[in-house]
Amino acid sequence: MKITGIELRRIAMPLVAPFRTSFGTETERDVLLLRVVTPDAEGWAECVAMTDPLYSPEYVDGAADVLRRFLIPALPTHPDAHTVGRALHPFKGHRMAKAALETAVLDAQLRTTGQSLAAFLGAAKDRVPSGVSVGIMDSIPHLLDTVEDYLHQGYLRIKLKIEPGWDLAPVRAVRERFGDDLLLQVDANAAYTLTDAPHLTKLDAFDLLLIEQPLANDDLVQHAQLAKLLKTPICLDESIESAEHAAAAITLGSCSIINVKPGRIGGYLEARRIHDLARAHGVALWCGGMLETGIGRAANLALAALPGFTLPGDTSASRRYYATDITTPFELRQGHLDVPTGPGIGIDPIPDILEEVTTSTEWITL
């Protein structure tokens, strides 16, 4: 497949409500989109890097820079998704930027052959159960109202963001108000240390599905120690940047569940490797989210339909994030989102809406 050029497009997407985690508050998503142009098809992808390097070392200006200076010039003359990965391998890190480039090439390739990303990855279902991630709030009543609204919309699982000072009380309040049957989990985004273990064991009383990334990104050994102290299963997110990290975490006993975000690990091919590894070891998976627009969401839904994804993911409906998405919005139906069936990621940006939210474009001729 010959690529004639690649467009880097920045868009500004206001969130319907501020989203607070232990590392910061998002009010607007500054998204980098890639459009790969070939004689036969165009491929789209969304880079999940955030404005600031607070979730991981990557950030959106850095992703655009490494793409234009190093990654795009390194593409093979006639790339496909597999050869893209090999060509980008010598460049260290920058997995979110690499994931976006590989995904855009893969989308163009699949649109050329008419195959959906879901079929290419090996999807086993046509809809996936939806959970929702609930940010840190200014008060417990506000949190309870927010959770109640999501449950009325049909979400099947609630994830509460936690941090020191906002953990036991919100979890207790949600359990008491919505009962023991609610599928409930928490996400610390690396806000604790192993010395907090006695405090974290108090979460065991609330029958949580999991605690996500309690300790620092590079604390695989400490997570394994914590796992021995907690009844609540540990899920890793930030710590897992590759199939090798997943293998190490499984071997050490650092987690029994993995949140797979294709952007964090360098793309959908690496996501499938982690899927196969985790499945072989009885490690449960779910698909995370990075406040994606419909472009990133479509591709994540294809991945979440693989058989090893046995827990509801953070793949929520478009209106949980954006009043107007750049694609046809994904809607919740009985707590599920449909997996796109069209060629490639199965969805396109709506040109007028895309223009309205665009802050810059850059065309790179190949």
Contacts with ligand NPG, residue ranges (CB under 6 A): 21, 50, 55, 133, 187, 189, 237, 288-292, 314, 316
Nearer to ligand NPG, 288 or 312 (CB): 288
Alpha-carbon distances of 325 from 23, 85, 206, 343, 359, rounded to whole Å: 25, 30, 36, 20, 15
Cα gap 176→170, rounded to integer Å = 10
CB of 187 to ligand NPG, least distance (A): 6
Nearer to ligand NPG, 167 or 292 (CB): 292
Cα gap 87→42, rounded to integer Å = 21
CB of 289 to ligand NPG, least distance (A): 2
- Cα 120 → chain centroid: 19
Of 286, 283, 219, 216, nearest in space to 246 by CA = 283
CB of 278 to ligand NPG, least distance (A): 18
Assign 245 to helix, strand or coil: helix
User: What tokens appear for 345 in the block?
Assistant: 């990621």
Cα gap 341→132, rounded to integer Å = 23
Nearer to ligand NPG, 232 or 316 (CB): 316
Cα gap 14→37, rounded to integer Å = 28
Nearer to ligand NPG, 26 or 85 (CB): 26
Assign 201 to helix, strand or coil: helix
- Nearest residue to ligand NPG by CB is 289
Cα gap 210→257, rounded to integer Å = 8
CB of 59 to ligand NPG, least distance (A): 11
Nearer to ligand NPG, 105 or 220 (CB): 220
CB of 141 to ligand NPG, least distance (A): 22
Q: Pairing state of beta strands 24-37 and 5-21? A: antiparallel
Cα gap 325→188, rounded to integer Å = 28
CB of 236 to ligand NPG, least distance (A): 11
* Residue 98 annotated as catalytic: no
* Residue 125 annotated as catalytic: no
Could you tell me if 103 and 49 are in contact, meaning their C-beta atoms sit under 8 angstroms apart? Answer: no
Cα gap 339→359, rounded to integer Å = 30
Nearer to ligand NPG, 107 or 237 (CB): 237
Cα gap 188→21, rounded to integer Å = 8
Nearer to ligand NPG, 105 or 184 (CB): 184
Q: Which of 92, 125, 161, 231 is catalytic?
A: 161
Cα gap 211→157, rounded to integer Å = 14
**DSSP H or E run through 45:** strand 42-47
User: What tokens appear for 112 in the block?
Assistant: 């050329």
CB of 257 to ligand NPG, least distance (A): 13
- Cα 178 → chain centroid: 27
Q: Which of 2, 98, 125, 261 is catalytic?
A: 261
Residue 23 burial (C-beta neighbours within 10 Å; 0-12, 13-18, 19+): middle
Q: Which residues are catalytic?
A: 161, 261
